[in-house]
A and B are shown apart, each in its own frame.
Chain A
């Protein structure tokens, strides 16, 4: 499909014709998931369904918004928070004077109600706060206390991110799991659904917004049945704000109107890694994993598979979103095995007993040819290309690797069950590196082969990492946290549990012909991507019509 996109988009550069003209003061947004007909679903807790963008982008708000650019929480519905000394209680002080869009006051009871809803409906609790949350209760109008079953400081991240729904409306909802919430009442800046058609909808501003009435009149979202359709619209200037991947963005998008068309693709998303299943010999040996890594020409991989929109990972595996946690000592310690170094790979393979036979292919110590398989989901064109680059490097190093493209679900099944040799994969993203390292190295995340695992597909537990991770669950001291993260980075650099390739870019484009104030490389106050919740609120409340 990517080729088709390039072709068609390249062609349009020369044509005009009658294109829809956006209404002044109405921000045109391209929703993330593509569809040809919208379902009127504004249930912000129903992430699993076909939720409309504004439900979490502009209608319902969380207690705090994490800003990955500054590495700080931005107070939102809550003004401050604190942990008790034993880390078993988290208390939020709420913003005073916030109203729901129907005029009712917002308060601690709403917050407590929302989390009670998650506790009684586990299907809504996609982040899993039920694992450690005993109860959420209102202490007065403006204070909410969360009691934990065990100390779990990283829980702050998930609790503060859930959208809060109004108790006075939702208490009458029979089944929140099938509730489409067609006429939403929220605290956010844009809440009034004034028009809803299968092909487009419009959300007017909330005059009662606690941050003051938004400067923009309304949001307008059109249905784009496929990515190439939305890219067309973005390039033609029909869309003000979008989070789509665009090939050759400088030529195709910026080139159309260098003054107004902009993009910003910072590498703030989760790291993409190459996994070697440690339950399959010889991948349990860290030397083999490092040798694999040294055969990979990452610079080339990033160029051909990612259009140079990102850069190679270092030996800590951290994404750019975690820049402030990066320890130069750990980076140095891991530098050798993330550098393209065929001679070094040769040495490590030899140390691990994987010697080349007379035909040039490596043998395992028991004499069998070392011939692992890389599985890759069909249709993930960037991963297919990346896997090809990796396979080429491995074959040059004498590893008789084959590539197998699988149907997406078959691939998903095999990696989750740990029934594969080698595969590309994503890593977990969170505000701090805690979840990232937990999913790659903790005993907690290891499942037996044959059982579905959402992370740790390679099935590796490192006891030392578990000690640091547990310590992180029990401290709010920033200095101590930093020491523990640095220690985890050292473990990662030493053990190479997964082979980091590159941090994923966050796609974001904007057209400032009619609106100003978008974040950009020069004004990086928040990530640009509208697909990132709840961070989109940071942008929506800053935009101004020209």
Chain B
């Protein structure tokens, strides 16, 4: 327990650091949102209106430390401000809308990829040299080595444009009203399959390879040999003896991957025009929407930290040596 609390303390410091960074980094970018808006009007924006807008958006020109303290206060109250590109919607409501889709798409895809990759790796190592072990890793590595952007474009091109199997954009058919009805859920699934599949295909190879190599290592351990000698069923050895021990590095990696789910698979969402966090971040950066960028950074880092803490707990259960 003390171990977990100590970790929690460490995460609190990390959270503060990330909150601070997410305040300062956008401010080091050239230009500010009001000038960006200038451009949209191609100069036809009255200078006084600009000054007034800057103030309205909270770019008061107050000293940075003052703005920083103000920002900390707002964050503590859960007030992330008003989005500039979705003005006058609040950052909270904009993120909430996108969060659902990201959790759904990336969450399911990462989980599927992890489970499938790890299982295949385990199986491959168990039957070393079998057809699974010799055919799958090169194929998955090859697919994973393609630039993801290209892979996703190709998938959209072939299955979306060419064959018409998959919708080309968005998270559901816009003729439907969101509800818990079957047509709506079916539409959501239909829209998610292709993007999720590209994530799985692109990332499963990594899980498989790392699981396979640790598994091979573990399989040569004496206790596995001993288990064989004892006459335990091979299924039990594979899962309980070798698998559980080989899983550790992958679980650590999974924690990281889970955290990054919230940043949205940026490229996936851009290519498939999926209305999640990644697409939102892309738009926010393009339009210099500081409050939204900050809000997205914040949710992402908090998610990464939370995921890591969960991984700590799982680790403790899988490997008692890491405990106190």
- A-side residues, CB < 8 A to B, are 4, 7-8, 11-12, 15-18, 20, 35-37, 39, 41, 43, 46-50, 121-128, 130-131, 177-180, 195, 197-200, 222-226, 229, 232, 270, 407-410, 412-413, 416, 426, 428-430, 435, 439, 452, 454-455
Contacts and interface: CB of A to CB of B under 8 A. Distances in A.
B274 to A, nearest CB: 8
Interface string B78-90: 0000100111110
B18 interface: no
Given A198-B97, A223-B174, A229-B168, A49 B43 contact: no
A429 B44 contact: yes
A152 B210 CA distance: 74
A416 B35 contact: yes
SS class of chain A's interface: helix, strand, loop or mixed? loop
B31 A410 contact: yes
A179 B49 contact: no
B46 A12 contact: no
A178 B161 contact: no
A516 to B, nearest CB: 25
B38 A121 contact: no
10 contacts: A8-B157, A36-B170, A36-B273, A41-B89, A122-B51, A200-B175, A225-B169, A226-B273, A412-B35, A452-B35
Given A15-B162, A127-B46, A409-B30, A179 B88 contact: yes
A225 B173 contact: no
Given A123-B49, A126-B49, A409-B30, A198 B164 contact: no
B205 to A, nearest CB: 26
A125 B178 CA distance: 38
B44, B153, B162, B279: residue with the most chain A Cβ atoms closer than 10 Å: B44
Contacts of B38: 412, 416, 452, 454
Interface string B164-185: 1000111111110110000000
Contacts of B62: none
A143 to B, nearest CB: 27
A243 B178 CA distance: 29
Interface residues of B, number: 54
Contacts of B273: 36, 224-226, 229
B168 A49 contact: no
B85 to A, nearest CB: 6
A163 B279 CA distance: 33
Contacts of B53: 48, 123
Contact of A49 (B29, B87, B94, B175): B87
A131 B38 CA distance: 18
A224 B169 contact: yes
B65 interface: no
Contact of B89 (A7, A39, A127, A130): A39
B235 interface: no
A41 B30 contact: no
Given A225-B275, A412-B39, A452-B35, 14 more contacts: A11-B161, A46-B88, A49-B86, A49-B88, A122-B49, A123-B53, A128-B48, A178-B56, A178-B87, A178-B88, A226-B273, A270-B42, A408-B31, A426-B42
B87 A46 contact: yes
Contact of A410 (B30, B39, B170): B30
B88 A197 contact: no
Contacts of B163: 15, 17
Contacts of A127: 44, 46
Interface of B is mostly: loop
Given A48-B37, A409-B35, A130 B29 contact: no
A36 B279 contact: yes
B98 interface: yes
A102 to B, nearest CB: 23
Contacts of A124: 49
A26 to B, nearest CB: 11
B86 A39 contact: yes
B39 A408 contact: yes
A531 to B, nearest CB: 12
A121 B52 contact: yes
A39 B280 CA distance: 13
Contacts of A17: 163-164
B296 to A, nearest CB: 14
B315 interface: no
B174 A125 contact: no
Nearest to A226: B273
A123 B88 CA distance: 14
Contacts of A11: 157, 161-162
A123 B56 contact: yes
B31 A412 contact: yes
B127 to A, nearest CB: 41
A344 to B, nearest CB: 31
Contacts of A435: 44
A199 B274 CA distance: 11
B43 A426 contact: yes
Most chain B CB within 10 A, of A49, A127, A412, is at A49
A126 B41 contact: yes
Contacts of B29: 409
A125 B53 CA distance: 10
A295 to B, nearest CB: 26
A50 B31 contact: no
Given A41-B87, A198-B97, A412-B35, A128 B49 contact: yes
A452 B49 CA distance: 14
Interface string B44-75: 11111101110110000000000000000000
Contact of B170 (A16, A41, A195, A223): A223
Nearest to A455: B43
Nearest to B29: A409
Contact of B31 (A179, A225, A409, A428): A409
Nearest to A200: B174
A200 B174 CA distance: 6
A51 B89 CA distance: 11
